[in-house]
């Protein structure tokens, strides 16, 4: 299966530095173009062939194919949550067994490990890599492409960071965001408060109604996260907005939550509400990962798997019925936080795990 040379930690760290130092905040098209070019260059230098940049309104996606009948899709993203300038404050470092810097764990380290894992294979036929530009902001521009390539390949390996302790992510909750907009009527808070319709009071009623939709016993969380209202301290607020994070474990709960948001009604006379949003990432059931996880356990005995609350692009592919295994990326932690890190000592093992899964898929009978 392997070429006789191991995946080099030094070479992986070199490529990881290149990607981290090419900052890539979501929605910054200029930065994402530079990041996509850097990802493509790393792929081409390690695997040969040509990595194509696919333009989108969210920035370029990167697609590479080894040729042959599609058999397995390696899926990742190159956008990160950190604004430009984070690198200056928190530069890339590799010391004391850890690599740190914006995006090392989520998920640039996983991309590098996958590329270097593939480089150890003599035969890469049937392998595709898709690295998207908008995973952190909902994958609206990339979803159709992800689904197309997943269906074509028939199996998906997602290079998101590992679960705690290095385990794989064998299931994910569906997740979505809702925005509830309240329209009231302004008036002077001192002279004639009763002439107004207080959007902030209406929003407060809505927050309580919304929070009551959660069903922790079914794995459903409904969490109001951001609220805004009002303009001045002596004006009855005419408008308010509430943003809500939703996580569900089942399609039935997805349907219930979406119907409940659609049915929200105002409490105050003359107040109006409008709801926007959906559970945009469907749940990833553990059944979707069972086949590939069994292979991973044979390759790395004792490897754990767990269902997690966060979503990824693997949610989309699993919902299509395509076997999907997630959490194959970096071992570390601190996603989206200043203490984000990658464990350098685990990089080679993870690279070879990807290689082993690809090899098994190439040799599986349909």
Rounded distance between C-alpha atoms, residue 178 and residue 278, angstroms: 6
Residues 313 and 275 in one domain: no
> Is the sign of the CA dihedral 55, 60, 61, 63 positive or negative?
positive
- Dihedral pair phi/psi, residue 324, rounded to 5°: -140, 130
Residues 157 and 188 in one domain: no
Instruction: Determine the average pLDDT of the residues in 24-46.
Output: 98
Task: Evaluate whether residue 3 is within a structural domain.
Answer: no
Rounded to 10 degrees, what is the CA torsion of 141, 133, 361, 154? Answer: 0
Residue 86 has pLDDT above 70, yes or no: yes
Q: What is the mean pLDDT of the chain?
A: 96
Residue 165 has pLDDT above 80, yes or no: yes
Among 187, 178, 179, smallest CA distance to 241 is for 179
Task: Evaluate whether residue 301 is within a structural domain.
Answer: yes
Q: pLDDT tier at 1 (50, 70, 90 boundaries)?
A: low
Instruction: Determine the average pLDDT of the residues in 174-201.
Output: 97
Residues 206 and 344 in one domain: no
> In this structure, what token pair is assigned to residue 287?
């059944």
pLDDT at position 5: 58
Rounded distance between C-alpha atoms, residue 276 and residue 264, angstroms: 11
Residue 2 has pLDDT above 60, yes or no: no
Residue 16 has pLDDT above 80, yes or no: yes
Task: Evaluate whether residue 352 is within a structural domain.
Answer: yes
Residue 237 has pLDDT above 60, yes or no: yes
Residues 51 and 90 in one domain: yes
Residues 255 and 321 in one domain: no
80 - beta bridge partners?
Answer: 25
> In this structure, what token pair is assigned to residue 280?
């945009």
Convert the chain into a string of H (helix), E (strand) and C (coil): CECCCCCCHHHHHHHHHHHHCCCCECCCHHHHHHHHHHHHHHHHHHHCCCEEEECCCCCCEEEEECCCCCCEEEEEECCECCCCCHHHHCCCEEECCEEECCCHHHHHHHHHHHHHHHHCECCCCCEEEEEECCHHHCCCCCHHHHHHHHHHHCCEEECCCCCHHHCEEEEECEEEEEEEEEECECCECCCCHHHCECHHHHHHHHHHHHHCCCEHHHCEEEEEEEEEECCCCCECCCEEEEEEEEEECCHHHHHHHHHHHHCCCCCCCCCEEEEEEEEEECCECHHHHHHHHHHHHHHCCCCCEEEECCCCCHHHHHHCCCCEEECCCCCEECCCCCCCEEEHHHHHHHHHHHHHHHHHHHCCCC
> In this structure, what token pair is assigned to residue 320?
């299509």
Residue 189 has pLDDT above 60, yes or no: yes
Task: Evaluate whether residue 4 is within a structural domain.
Answer: no
Percent of the chain with pLDDT over 70: 98
Task: Evaluate whether residue 183 is within a structural domain.
Answer: yes
Residues 77 and 142 in one domain: yes
Instruction: Determine the average pLDDT of the residues in 253-272.
Output: 98
101 C-beta neighbours (distance < 10 Å), count: 25
Residues 296 and 183 in one domain: no
pLDDT at position 272: 98
HSE, side-chain direction, 13 A CA sphere, residue 42? 29
Residues 243 and 313 in one domain: no
Instruction: Determine the average pLDDT of the residues in 342-361.
Output: 97
CATH number, domain of 22, equals 3.40.630.10
Instruction: Determine the average pLDDT of the residues in 148-164.
Output: 97
Domain count, the chain: 2
Residues 160 and 130 in one domain: yes
Among 281, 310, 327, the domain boundary falls at 281
Q: Convert the pLDDT of each residue in 46-61 to its tens digit.
A: 999 999 999 999 999 9
Residues 13 and 136 in one domain: yes
Instruction: Determine the average pLDDT of the residues in 118-147.
Output: 97
Task: Evaluate whether residue 1 is within a structural domain.
Answer: no
Among 281, 310, 333, the domain boundary falls at 281
Task: Evaluate whether residue 111 is within a structural domain.
Answer: yes
The parent domain of residue 224 ranges over: 174-281
Is the entire prediction scored with pTM above 0.85? Answer: yes
- Dihedral pair phi/psi, residue 248, rounded to 5°: -135, 155
Instruction: Determine the average pLDDT of the residues in 20-36.
Output: 98
Task: Evaluate whether residue 2 is within a structural domain.
Answer: no
Residues 240 and 288 in one domain: no
Sequence-distant (6+) residues with CB within 8 A of 236 are: 184, 185, 186, 187, 188, 189, 193, 195, 196, 197, 198
Among 253, 281, 309, the domain boundary falls at 281
CB 273 within 8 A of CB 264: yes
Instruction: Determine the average pLDDT of the residues in 114-130.
Output: 97
Q: Convert the pLDDT of each residue in 296-313 to its tens digit.
A: 999 999 999 999 988 999
CATH number, domain of 218, equals 3.30.70.360
Residues 213 and 306 in one domain: no
Instruction: Determine the average pLDDT of the residues in 223-247.
Output: 97
275 - beta bridge partners?
Answer: 180
pLDDT at position 317: 98
Percent of the chain with pLDDT over 90: 96
Instruction: Determine the average pLDDT of the residues in 208-229.
Output: 97
pLDDT at position 365: 60
Rounded distance between C-alpha atoms, residue 251 and residue 233, angstroms: 44
pLDDT at position 4: 44
Rounded distance between C-alpha atoms, residue 143 and residue 295, angstroms: 27
């Amino acid at each position: 299966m392997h070429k006789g040379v191991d995946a080099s930690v030094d070479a992986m760290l070199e490529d990881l530095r290149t990607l981290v130092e090419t900052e890539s905040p979501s929605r910054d098209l200029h930065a994402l173009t530079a990041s996509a070019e850097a990802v493509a260059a790393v792929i081409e230098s390690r695997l040969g062939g040509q990595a194509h940049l696919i333009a989108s309104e969210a920035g370029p996606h990167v697609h590479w194919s080894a040729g042959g009948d599609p058999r397995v899709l390696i899926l990742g993203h190159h956008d990160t949550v950190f604004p430009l300038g984070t690198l200056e404050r928190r530069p890339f470092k590799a010391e004391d067994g850890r690599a740190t810097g914006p995006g090392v764990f989520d998920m640039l380290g996983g991309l590098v490990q996958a590329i270097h894992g593939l480089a150890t294979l003599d035969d890469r036929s049937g392998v595709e890599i898709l690295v998207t530009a908008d995973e952190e902001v909902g994958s609206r521009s990339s979803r159709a492409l992800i689904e197309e390539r997943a269906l074509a390949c028939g199996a998906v390996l997602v290079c998101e960071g590992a679960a705690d302790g290095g385990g794989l992510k064998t299931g994910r909750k569906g997740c979505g965001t809702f925005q509830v907009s309240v329209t009231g009527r302004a008036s002077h808070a001192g002279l004639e408060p009763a002439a107004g319709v207080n959007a902030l009071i209406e929003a407060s009623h809505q927050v309580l109604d919304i929070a009551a939709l959660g069903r922790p016993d079914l794995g459903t969380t409904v969490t109001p996260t951001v609220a805004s209202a009002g303009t001045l301290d002596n004006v009855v607020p005419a408008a308010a907005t509430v943003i809500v994070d939703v996580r569900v474990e089942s399609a039935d709960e997805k349907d219930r939550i979406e119907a409940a948001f659609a049915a929200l009604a105002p409490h105050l006379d003359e107040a109006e509400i409008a709801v926007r949003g959906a559970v945009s990432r469907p749940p990833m059931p553990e059944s979707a990962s069972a086949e590939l996880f069994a292979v991973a356990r044979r390759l790395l005995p004792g490897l754990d798997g767990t269902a997690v609350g966060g979503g990824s692009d693997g949610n989309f592919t699993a919902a299509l019925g395509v076997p999907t295994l997630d959490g194959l990326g970096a071992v570390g932690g601190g996603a989206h936080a200043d203490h984000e890190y990658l464990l350098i000592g685990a990089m080679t093992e993870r690279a070879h795990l990807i290689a082993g899964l690809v090899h098994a898929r190439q040799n599986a009978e349909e």
